[in-house]
Amino acid sequence: MNVHELDRPRGTRRHLALAVAVLGALAVWTVVHLAPWLEPRAATLHPAPEAEIAPKIAFPTRSAPLRAPVERAPEVAEDGLPIMPADPSAPMPAGPVHPHPTTPAHLRIYRENNLLGALNGALDVKDASGMRRLLAQYREEYPEDPHELQAGYAIIADCLDHPGNASTAAASHYYDTELASTLRRYVRRHCLE
**Tens digits of residue pLDDT in 126-165:** 999 999 999 999 999 999 988 889 999 999 999 999 999 9
pLDDT < 50: residue spans in the chain: 42-45, 54, 64, 68-69
Rounded to whole angstroms, the Cα distance separating 153 from 142 reads 14
User: According to the model, what pLDDT value does residue 106 have?
Assistant: 87
Q: Where are the domains of the chain?
A: 104-192
List 128's β-bridge partners, or say none: none
Coil, helix or strand for 63?
A: coil
pTM listed for this prediction: 0.53
Closest listed residue to residue 124, CA positions, set 190, 191, 169: 190
Rounded to whole angstroms, the Cα distance separating 28 from 23 reads 9
Using CA atoms, how far residue 33 sits from 21, 26, 27, 37, in Å, is 18, 10, 10, 9
Closest listed residue to residue 95, CA positions, set 109, 80, 111, 116: 80
Closest listed residue to residue 120, CA positions, set 152, 165, 82: 152
User: According to the model, what pLDDT value does residue 160 have?
Assistant: 94
Which residues have C-beta within 8 Å of that of residue 34, sequence separation ≥ 6?
A: none
